[in-house]
Amino acid sequence: MKNRKLSYCCIISLGCCVSLLTSCKQPQSSSSSSSTLNIQGESVNLSVDMGEEEQPVDLLKEGFADSVRYVPLETNDDVLISSIEKIDVADGFIYIHDATKKIMKFDMSGKFVYAIDRVGLGPGEYSSIYDFCVRDGKVEVLDLENRRLLSYRASDGKFIRSIPLKSFFYHFMPIVGHHYLGDIHLYQKKKGMGVILLDSLTNEREKLLWYGMFPTLGENINTFVALRGGSYGIFSQPDNTVYHYTYPDKLERAYTYQFNKGIPIPSLPGKESFQLSQEQIEDLLTPCFYMEGKSFIWLSVIYGSRGYQVFYDKRTKKVSTSPAVFCSGMQCFHPLPTDTPHLVVCAVVSSILEAMKKAPKDKIPPEMQENALYKMALQSKEESNPIVQLIYLK
């Protein structure tokens, strides 16, 4: 199974992956898109200066979010989280895709409810979890290795049905009309990548975006975001553009990012092999997280071995770059993919909690000492499951 999380350590070790590829041709940009829909509008160009770091944005203090909530997840021998891939919040419960191929359900106090843990080849079993979603009282699991979509009852995790995939996609998001948006990559006869509209049986209905290339490395992170007013944000890595889609047939260019430094990974050609020098490897740049609210767009970008938070304020038309984003004086640690509308979800893992506990108290700002997360960190144990940070957007 491919791990869709793009961590800093993955980027640092990228040179090992690239050095295994043998062609001596230099990469060229290939980012023109096509669509079965008429793409409307002219995008707003956002110039990003990767050399200038500014004061970090605070989502709550600056009016981008309404509130923040911290949920310490229950920890016991039967409930141990390895690494969180994705979190959805639905009907008053938290659903977590763990790297150990489980979907875990917790209530809003953090109490464990059940786990879907059915690795295998039989009925109701899966070999992989590439993605999952919660809709209409069902937990739907994408088992790409066996080319099927499995459904379980959200109330108790019982298996309902399995349908064969009609289209090949890595990542999907439920939208109106019992449809999905899908992130598709084809490596065989018809090479390419893009975004497609799928029906409830995963049949392709429209190619919203299509590029005559396939991704060189990895897959998109949080490609889709539900927006206010019933539309959806789509971040397209090949052209670093945010599109707005309204079902069934309205697709608009909204914002295009122009970086003053770095080689964007998505612009590398869809070739079976290529070669980069060490200098080029250190100059790689890739967006790895996209979130859009009513008055902002937040893009996490990795450049070389460092992470940057690129924040666009729609109210002031200002783009800023900083090492972190905060909420109520506390950093937003490790933002995760989610299909939940108007919500930023982060996981504060045990290593961060331990660092908070060990930090000298006179070095902790008074504001942080009063933060609920800091108080929870002081009560946490060394092997505690993460604390989930839920930031509710305006």
| Average pLDDT of the segment spanning 375-383 | 88
Q: 257-276 burial string, b = 16+ CB within 10 Å, else e?
A: bebeebbbbbbbbbbeebeb
- pLDDT band for 223, please (50, 70, 90 cuts): confident
Q: Decide if 281 contacts 268 (C-beta within 8 A).
A: no
pLDDT, position 293? 94
The architecture (CATH level 2) of 30-393 comes to: 6 Propeller (2.120)
| Average pLDDT of the segment spanning 330-343 | 92
pTM of the complete model: 0.87
d(CA 261, CA 256): 15
d(CA 291, CA 222): 7
The H-assigned helical ranges of the chain are 8-12, 14-19, 278-282, 350-358, 366-369, 372-379
Taking the CA atoms of 68, 246, 170 and 30 in sequence, report the sign of the dihedral they define.
negative
Is 192 or 380 the better-scoring residue by pLDDT? 380
Is 39 or 238 the better-scoring residue by pLDDT? 39
Residue 327 has pLDDT above 70, yes or no: yes
DSSP string, 28-66: -----EE-SS-EES-PEEEEE-TT---PPEETTTTTSEE
What pairs with residue 86 in β-bridges? 97
pLDDT, position 194? 86
